[in-house]
Amino acid sequence: MASACPLPNLQRGAGPGHPAPTAASAVPADWTAAQLASYLIGVRHVRLFPALPLVAHTGLRRSEVARLKWGDLDTLAATL
């Protein structure tokens, strides 16, 4: 416990020269359609690429995508 970071350091940031996060910096900005398209083009080589457009367009969480089974897909009704 002697090497643990004292509480004052946690209140002011991660360490000297690292300010504490602010409410504005904690909220990520939404991507534009152009940014999303650029990202998806850049990660085409990733093994799990087929899941990325699904996440981007449906808002599914990682755990929800990981639990999907083929039985969850209804191709006749075009629903997931």
Mean confidence (pLDDT) of the chain: 80
Look at phi and psi of residue 34 and say left if phi exceeds 0, alpha if psi is from -120 to 50, else beta: alpha
Q: Give the whole-angstrom CA distance, residue 40 versus residue 51.
A: 11
Determine the average pLDDT of the residues in 49-73: 90
Token pair for 79: 């629903």
Q: Give the whole-angstrom CA distance, residue 66 versus residue 60.
A: 10
pLDDT digits (tens, 9 = 90+) for 37-53: 999 999 999 998 989 99
Would the pLDDT of 69 be above 90?
Answer: yes
Token pair for 67: 């639990």
Determine the average pLDDT of the residues in 59-74: 91
Backbone phi and psi for residue 63, each to the nearest 5 degrees, phi listed first: -65, -35
